[in-house]
A and B are shown apart, each in its own frame.
Chain A
Amino acid sequence: MVIHQLVARLDPGDAISNQALSMHELFRSWGFESRLYAFDMDDYGKRFAEFDTEYRKFMHREEDLLIYHFGIYCDNHRYFLESKNRKVLIYHNITPPEFYETFYPEAERLCRMGRELMPRLKDCDLALGDSDYNRRELVEAGFPEEKTGVLPINPPLDKLDNVEEDRPFLRRLEDGKTNLLFVGRVVPNKRVEDVIKLFACYRYGVNARSRLVIAGIHLATYQSALLSFTDRLGLLDAVHFLGKVSDSTLKACYLGAHYYISMSEHEGFCVPLLEAFHFGVPVLAFAAGAVPETMGGAGILFVEKDYPLLAELLGRLDRDRLMRERIVSAQYRRLEEFRTQVFAARLREVIDRFASPGAAGAATARDSEERSA
């Protein structure tokens, strides 16, 4: 059995790409022949994947398994529809298009088309959400409940552990100020303006010795609006938009952060929450989408955005070391459930439903034959 994975795009730092790559490595380590295809990819992606047109020649093979990572509309869904392979859909969630309205019409269109497409993909052997929130959306879209399941994300924490932090940047963060951090794509559903509002209340009302660091690739129109808003609040010298950062700078961000803030109003999983857990940064997050599920009872969740009150809560955490420690401990405990071994076991269960005994071994034998030839 050959395992094919199909994604819209493969590039570093993206949660879907990371997930696909992590599965690709596991499949190979288990002895399966694993192939990865993308509609589009950068040089990094080309090291692991082929363009999706290469998949065509495998479409008729009934013994193979096709895993389609679905997170936005992409023309390569047609391969999934037409393939004779056994089929697994992994739904990473699609941002409701209205978030992109006026900011990015093209993304709005792709998200709308993606959501409209969902019911047509239900003819598969198994549909997995990377959170139960996502799985429920599949059921709402018409997927038979008994054919759905949950396969959580495997956060790429080892990658951050293995890289050395950007020391000059970390030194700058460790200057005695309190650092609030947001990591993620700077796009409208993340409500970065609300993070800035909370920071404004914290800096103007509770602790002037503070800064906000925002790390992540930005959507230019939204970013320009955020810059304008930050300027209006008189905070341009205290809010730092880093744009897309390297793993080394990202690690420095987490190491230098005192709090991680999420005001996002739509999340299918939210990997940065777990990265913050990993680095012992207390998380304050708005309870929206899959965020409560990912947090799993650790960290701080709130259901209303009362900025002065939340700023006061940050002030309390500044002073109350015990409370802070309790939060960090709970976050570490929660993180155990997302370790690679746990993910690998769950993924193996999924694959074993499709693999006939000896399928992996056959691939290993074929691999060694190819190597010796």
Chain B
Amino acid sequence: MTIYVNGRELDEHGLAGKSEARRRAGLYPEGFLRLLGRSARDELSDSHCAMVEEVKELNRALYESGANLEPPPDLAREGERKGRLESFLRRLQTRFIRAVCEGYVQQQQFFNSYFSKGLILCFLQVYGREEETPLEGDERLDSRAFLNPPWGRDTEEEVAEACAGVDCLVLGIPSVDFLETLRERANLVLALDASEEAVARAQARMLPAWCGTRFSHLLELSGRGAEVCLVARPESLGARELEEVLGWAAAHLPNKGRVLVARGPSKAYGVVEREGAARPHPPAFLAALLRRHGFEVGELRLGSVDFLEGLKRGGEEDRSSPPGSEGGEAG
């Protein structure tokens, strides 16, 4: 590859070496690199499919309410007449483009709302919050630091030892030193955290760490598996996200694979009362979530921190007990 800086060719060997080192360290997993080959047109077909479904729904609703909007309702998947569907899709495409781009079709608002939803979400991040309110990642970092002090060296050593020799995912970064220890003793596949600060510190040491708030999505994106999934900071995840992460673990960990979940305080005391502040999940809730996803739940103390250990069973899953239905402590 040729790069020119102020018209002069740059010797990019150093850059190429570093980029390769990051790839080897796991910062650019294969699943992620594959996505870089995807084009906007590939996405468009997906969006169009979603749009077509929505338009069908709209059409059906209008038909049922007595409005006879073309095309007639013979467009359901079963027994559809191909020629009509294609002609409908052509009309739809034209109408859609006019509706969104030129704005003169009655259904414009409906079409627009679908596509502008995402835009609004993004825009709100920039404009919608009050002055001086930190962004989500930093909020979580603050509240987490308050709720859950950093692990001691003894805990870091013992956790690293418990993961020794296996592929390990870390959700919530206790400290960059811990990640380094883990890289030496185990195979650190990926560490995720909502805090950009924590991840940037890890990246500076070539540790495979990604930042984001939707961990389950990032795990899918990385396309990596592991034998141990260490949820070091469960309080940095909402209940729904935690459920999704454990669902991912249940689907992707091998039999006898383990999930280690650090237990927070048993009561939600001292939580900063402001929007975005994280609250610790009660241990009983964490245990019930693990069981719900088919893990055998046990307790473990590593250094000065208590953990719930979920062992993936090979057989059937017990989904009968909803989270939170069991009182008291796990185990």
Decide: A297 and B7 in contact? CB cutoff 8 A.
yes
Contact of B15 among A205, A223, A313 (CB under 8 A): A313
* Residues of chain A with a CB closer than 8 A to B125's CB: 237, 240
In Å, the complex CA distance between A306 and B33 comes to 11
**Contact: A309 with B1, CB < 8 Å?**
yes
Instruction: Give the bracket for the number of chain A residues in contact with chain B.
Output: 35 or more
B122 touching A208, Cβ below 8 Å: no
| Contacts A312-B15, A327-B6; A177 near B131 (Cβ below 8 A) | no
Residue on A with the closest CB to B219?
A234
A245 to B60 CA separation, bound complex (whole angstroms):
38
Docked complex: A149-171 residues within 8 A CB-CB of B = 168-169, 171
Pairwise interchain contact A225-B122, C-beta atoms closer than 8 A: no
How many Å from the CB of B128 to the closest CB on chain A?
Answer: 11
Within A278-324, which residues are at the interface with B (CB < 8 Å)? Answer: 287, 297-304, 306-309, 311-313, 315-316, 323
B97 at the interface (CB under 8 A from A): yes
CB of B253 within 8 Å of the partner chain = no
Check B1 against A193 for contact (C-beta < 8 Å): no
A207 within 8 A of B: yes
Chain A nearest CB from B198 CB (Å) reads 8
- On chain A, the residues within 8 Å of B153 by CB distance are none
Instruction: Tell me what chain B mostly uses at the interface: helix, strand, loop, or mixed.
Output: helix
A residues near B127, Cβ cutoff 8 Å: 168-169
Q: In the complex, A308 Cα to B196 Cα: how many Å?
A: 19
Least CB distance from A218 to B in Å reads 8
Q: A interface, by DSSP: helix, strand, loop or mixed?
A: helix
CA distance A208 to B191 in the complex (A): 13
Closest to A207 in B: B200
In the assembled complex, which residues on chain A have CB atoms less than 8 Å from the CB atom of B123? Answer: 240-243
| Closest CB in chain B relative to A95 CB, distance in Å | 15
Q: Provide the residues of chain B in CB contact with A10, threshold 8 Å.
A: none
Chain B residues with CB under 8 Å of A222's CB are 40, 44
A276 at the interface (CB under 8 A from B): no
Distance in angstroms between the alpha carbons of A276 and B325 in the assembled complex = 58
Q: Of B1, B35, B40, which contacts A306 at CB under 8 A?
A: B1
CA of A225 to CA of B126 in the docked complex: distance in angstroms? 21
B241 to chain A, nearest CB (A): 13
Minimum C-beta distance from B233 to chain A (A): 16
Q: State which of A225, A304, A311 has its C-beta within 8 Å of the C-beta of B47.
A: A225
Q: Which of A13-21, A102-110, A125-133, A337-345 contacts B (4 or more CB under 8 A)?
A: A102-110
Provide the bound-state CA to CA distance between A98 and B32, in Å. Answer: 28
A78 at the interface (CB under 8 A from B): no
Query: Which chain B residues lie closer than 8 Å to A39 at the CB level?
Result: none
Give the chain A neighbours of B271 by CB distance below 8 A. none
Complex: A304 Cα to B200 Cα, angstroms: 27
> How many angstroms from the CA of A102 to the CA of B47 in the assembled complex?
12
A203-B211, A208-B211 are contacts. A299–B6 as well, Cβ < 8 Å?
yes
Contact yes or no, B28 A204, CB < 8 A = yes
Chain B residues proximal to chain A, CB less than 8 Å: 1-7, 10, 12, 15-16, 18-19, 22-23, 27-28, 32, 35-36, 38-41, 43-44, 46-47, 51, 93-94, 96-97, 100-101, 112, 115, 118-119, 121-123, 125-127, 131, 135-136, 196-197, 199-200, 203, 209-214, 217-218, 221
List chain A positions with a Cβ less than 8 A from chain B.
102-106, 168-169, 171-172, 175, 177, 188, 192-193, 197, 200-201, 203-210, 219-229, 231-237, 239-243, 287, 297-304, 306-309, 311-313, 315-316, 323, 326-327, 330
